[in-house]
Amino acid sequence: MKLWQTLACAAVVSTAAHADNDVFVYLTSSSLQTQGMAMVLASQMQQQGANVSVLLCDGAGDLALKGHESPTLKPRDVTPAQLLQQLMSGGASVEVCALYLPNKPATADALLDGVTAAQPPRIAEKMLNPAVKVFSF
């Protein structure tokens, strides 16, 4: 096999492996423990090499608001919002549902830096992609 063929095969394998590591976490629960566990599991997946995307809807959307406060969770004494920010610092993309801001009502200025409003066609494409693992909480 020639060098260019070897490199092309390696690129295809690398791209396929990368796509198999895409994780989409869809969180709607306003339950403190559910939010915390979703963030803990997403963090564990990220630490194990997954590319994590998070979509926050309904009560979970509040995690993406500047100044959001909630009780801390044992055993680490952190809030779900702090865990979300750790995920983001590790490279996770975070969006709120397209319906969240208009129904809060709030504007994009209320969101943490780096959090955006989701575009439904792009989210639907991600959810339909068989290479993306989808988890909902």
Locate the domains of the chain by residue range. Answer: 21-136
**Hey, what's the torsion of the CAs at 96, 98, 104, 108, to 10 degrees?**
70
Answer whether residue 111 shows pLDDT above 60: yes
Residue range 21-136 forms a domain whose CATH class is: alpha beta
Which pLDDT does position 108 carry in this prediction? 96
Answer whether residue 97 shows pLDDT above 50: yes
Which pLDDT does position 19 carry in this prediction? 55
Average pLDDT score, the chain: 89
Answer whether residue 16 shows pLDDT above 80: no
pTM of the model: 0.84
| pLDDT band at residue 33 using 50, 70 and 90 as cut-offs | very high
Which pLDDT does position 9 carry in this prediction? 41
Answer whether residue 128 shows pLDDT above 70: yes
Which pLDDT does position 10 carry in this prediction? 38
Average pLDDT score over residue span 8-28: 64
Tokens for 13, please give them. 């394998």
Answer whether residue 6 shows pLDDT above 60: no
Answer whether residue 18 shows pLDDT above 60: no
Which pLDDT does position 12 carry in this prediction? 38
